[in-house]
Structure 1
Amino acid sequence: MSGRPRIAGLGTALPGNSVPQAALAEAAASCCSPRVARLLPRLYARSGVERRGCAVFPAPGVPADRDAPEAYVAAIRGVFAAPSPRRPLGPGVAERMRMYRDAALPLAAEAARDALADAGAEPAAIDHLVTVSCTGFAAPGVDLALLGTLGLPPATSRTHVGFMGCHGAMNGLRVAGALAAAEPGCRVLLVCVEVCTAHFRYGDAGLTANALFADGAAAAVVTADAGRGRSLTGRASLVLPGSADAMTWAIGAHGFEMSLSPAVPALIAERLPGVIGPWLARHGLTPAGVAGWAIHPGGPRVIDAVGEALGLGPAALAPSHALLREHGNMSSPTVLFLVDRLRRSPGPLVALAFGPGLTAEAALLG
């Protein structure tokens, strides 16, 4: 018997290193002007991030009982060296895409295997594969590579959700849920993977993105068959009026370039209640009646702006602040990391993320 699509299994994956934020700030100081370099320690300290997984840097192999910042700095500068006349803006797009290809598949495969195991599903049982990524492009890409790596059937259909930014997982869930609902008995594997650190920017622009973003992968098995797991009960989407330029993501000659306006938190605080409140009311809920909030941690001010907009207390925001502190902003997989942490809480959950546009995407998980 089939019903609502549900998340039957979840899995996550992180790089093998966990880089202290202070080491990242020190390494970044050699890639910008002396004036801006003096500001970096304060900017990185205020980011809400303490450590980040960075798949493009080799693990420095230091003892677990000490950080040895100098070892991390050396590892970072081995990839992103100080500007030179030959490479004033660092690696070009082709080299950064190689970084993405080398790092994305191992992360994606690890998360996918964990999700399959959590769902009790064999790779041969997967009918559809939905991949989500905005930090790399290749054809064939990570979707085709996953078929061989995981042992998925050659007949598995593949759908890629690309360049959607931090709310990509929400769009991926919508696609996976629609596929599961349309074909009773089928199983959909959703895999989100990002290698944000491949796009470290040189110069005095993009400092906020440099201070926030990290690498990781998350996966989910979605089906409409009866069983355990959070049901995909409802969704909402809103382009916040007058905010098209507040968050952008473009391809430059030396990597992908993220632009984040300082006005983003204020736009969220002002305009989010108009969509989330009525949407929850249609499901017989208020913000206070939601058991858990998986708020994508776009930064500490973004998390707090959602709290202000919806009247949420510190306890509701704590999981997002904790994930940001421990792992940084991994873009699309991040909200699934939060769902994984919160899914065993009794009562309904809301997953909420923001992407270029500025667009808010929400999902109610019953």
Structure 2
Amino acid sequence: MTTSILGIGLALPEHSISQADAAACAVASCVATEKQRQLAPRLYQRSGVQSRHSVLLNSSTNGDPASQTYYAPSDAEQPLGPSTAERMQTYRDKSGELACRAAGDSLTNSKTSPEAITHLVTVSCSGFEAPGFDIQLIEKLGLSRQVSRTHVGFMGCHGALNGLRVAKAFVDADPSARVLLVAVELCSLHYQYGWTNERIVSNSLFADGAAAVVVGRGDSDNSLWQLGSNFAEVVPDCLDAMTWRIGDNGFEMTLSAAVPELIRQHLRHRLLAWLEQHKLTIEEIAGWAIHPGGPRILQACQEALDLPDSAMAASYDVLRRYGNMSSPTVLFVLDTLRASTAGPVVAIGFGPGLAIEACLLN
């Protein structure tokens, strides 16, 4: 019996929008000049995303700004869109429902009763509230009121890998523990008004979603994945390469154009050294769950690790179908892989710092 992922659950908002329609909304809310009107659809097309889900959508039909309730065209009263307080109110209203759906499915799929959960680990970087959606999980799912709670906050796109490390530590320390890990992000709340290339690229990628896993002792008959070693490193001299900061009109993401090159420079030799500790080579890894931060990041990972196109298929598929949902996204990739890949699998994510996180699964 080893510490394992025993079940997984995924959840998406009811409505989605095509990338072409999302570009039409961007033109209405963000774009000021005719040149920018022509450029925005091309930037959205290059994102590698075909559709995304958002809690802000009223329907899944067209790109008319009326199809969503939040981002009206820029005006003199709110030139940068809703305030951070307004966005956090929407997070309070919407995050719990998604988290509960994903968590409930993970409990069902792992054949775990809510009362058996001893530890609850929550992950989010797109909103803050107290009491948070962890309390909603206790109330709505019937978890024990004595459950031990841990929140992994504001870690960015690799947050679920941080959460898996925490969950594994609990079970390694107490083999009787059952941990429910829930990652929920409402990235579309932080849509940014005003034209900069960085803003348009971020707006074209991010989406909403939730994923949950149950972690406990398991064997080959009742485990989806056995959790192995974790890797974490903050690359030096890269503090401004990727940032996630709280502004007056939402949380502001910056992603330097240098990030793909930094990945090419630093990822391979760091990952090789970690794998060598476990007597593994890159060629012996059967599956790769690489967080789809965007097509340029995926391309940089593929080049750095010299991976075939087939190794990247799951990550590109999730990016195409759902966009970048931040922390839950890597769990969506793992779920895509589990039907076809027995292991070993490496999951990788990147975050502000520039930070690299990875997890080995079998």
TM-score range, shorter chain: over 0.9
Corresponding residue to 1:171 among 162, 173, 187 = 162
Q: Name the SS for the 1:233 alignment partner.
A: strand
Q: Name the SS for the 2:356 alignment partner.
A: strand
Corresponding residue to 1:246 among 241, 245, 248 = 241
Q: CA RMSD in A?
A: 1.2
1:144-179 CA distances to partner (integer Å, 9 max, x unpaired)? 111001110111111110000000001000111111
User: In structure 1, how many angstroms separate the alpha carbons of the residues matched to 2:123 and 2:343?
Assistant: 28
Show the counterpart of 2:52. 52
Kept in 2: contact 1:132–1:332 (CA 8 A): yes
User: In structure 1, how many angstroms separate the alpha carbons of the residues matched to 2:2 and 2:260?
Assistant: 34
Indicate whether 1:133 and 2:124 are aligned. yes
Indicate whether 1:218 and 2:226 are aligned. no
Amino acid at match of 2:355: T
Alpha-carbon shift at residue 355 of structure 1 (Å): 0.6
1:277-312 CA distances to partner (integer Å, 9 max, x unpaired)? 111122121112111100000001111111111110
Show the counterpart of 1:25. 23
**Where do 1:76-155 residues align within 5 Å?**
76=68, 78-155=69-146
User: In structure 2, how many angstroms separate the alpha carbons of the residues matched to 1:341 and 1:322?
Assistant: 9
Amino acid at match of 1:286: T
Q: What 5-or-longer segments of structure 1 have no aligned partner?
A: 61-67
Show the counterpart of 2:66. 74
Q: Name the SS for the 1:272 alignment partner.
A: helix
Alpha-carbon shift at residue 37 of structure 1 (Å): 2.9
Kept in 2: contact 1:132–1:169 (CA 8 A): yes
What TM-score comes out, normalization by structure 2 length?
Answer: 0.95
**Bigger shift: residues 201-210 or 306-315:** 201-210
Show the counterpart of 1:65. none
Amino acid at match of 2:77: R
Indicate whether 1:40 and 2:36 are aligned. no
Show the counterpart of 1:234. 229
Q: What 5-or-longer segments of structure 2 have no aligned partner?
A: none
Aligned residues with identical type, % of pairs: 50
Corresponding residue to 1:207 among 200, 203, 217 = 200
Kept in 2: contact 1:30–1:37 (CA 8 A): no
Q: Name the SS for the 1:110 alignment partner.
A: helix
**Where do 1:275-290 residues align within 5 Å?**
275-290=270-285
1:46-68 CA distances to partner (integer Å, 9 max, x unpaired)? 000010001122225xxxxxxx4
User: In structure 2, how many angstroms separate the alpha carbons of the residues matched to 1:167 and 1:37?
Assistant: 33
Indicate whether 1:362 and 2:358 are aligned. yes
Alpha-carbon shift at residue 225 of structure 1 (Å): 4.6
**Where do 1:336-355 residues align within 5 Å?**
336-344=331-339, 345-355=341-351
Kept in 2: contact 1:235–1:363 (CA 8 A): yes
Alignment: residue pair count: 355
User: In structure 2, how many angstroms separate the alpha carbons of the residues matched to 1:152 and 1:210?
Assistant: 36
Which aligned runs of 4 or more in structure 1 are off by greater than 3 angstroms? none
Show the counterpart of 1:323. 318
What TM-score comes out, normalization by structure 1 length?
Answer: 0.94
